[in-house]
Amino acid sequence: MKLVLLLVFLLGGSTWPVRAQQAPALKAAPAQLSDPPRTAAVGAAGAARADTVAAVHVLFKSRRFGAAVLTVAGATAAVLFVYVAVGLQRWGRAGNAYVVPTILGTAVVGGVPALLAAGKRKRFSEQQEQAVIEAYNQGGALPAHISRRLSKRHFAK
């Protein structure tokens, strides 16, 4: 009976209309005519560079966090793999025939994420971040692998 009621509520709830919130209208800021066009363009370019530097910082920080998550996920999977394999041996469901597959499986399940995380840590280290930002601040372009990864979510809102 509980399952039937749950299905009725889920199916009935999915037919209700959904309405989005209305965004408030933004008022345009009054234009300032006192700035000559040249200084306004230079100021905008400086602001764009600062925004790009902040976006690069956000990108590197998020990639380093992703490497940490990948490391934890791989280590957890490896520990669970060993736990299950040892449990099978202890419960008598498997003899010593599973020792080598357990070692290889643990190496694959824990090693692949560890290698991927190590590569991420090297590519997105704090030293690499400082080198990229310093080269960009001196007038250089961002490296292709960095500019390709930048998206709207990395820039300030």
Asked whether the predicted pLDDT for residue 59 surpasses 50, the reply is yes
In a domain, 26, yes or no: no
Domain-embedded: residue 18? no
Does some domain include residue 33?
no
148 inside domain = yes
pLDDT score of 126 more than 90: yes
- Does the residue 1 lie in any domain? no
Model pTM score: 0.61
> In the chain, how many domains are there?
1
Give the lowest-confidence range in 41-45, 77-81, 138-142, 152-156. 41-45
Question: Cβ-count burial of 11 within 10 angstroms (0-12 exposed, 13-18 middle, 19+ buried)?
Answer: exposed
Q: What pLDDT, on a 0 to 100 scale, did the predictor assign at position 106?
A: 83
Cα 14 from chain centroid?
Answer: 31
At residue 50, does pLDDT exceed 90?
no
Cα–Cα distance list, 39 to 34, 43, 44, 57, 77 (Å): 10, 6, 8, 27, 57
Average pLDDT, the chain: 76
Alpha-carbon separation of residue 96 from 27, 85, 90 (angstroms):
74, 11, 10
Q: Which domain holds residue 125?
A: 42-154
CB atoms within 10 A of CB 55: 20
Does a structural domain hold residue 120?
A: yes
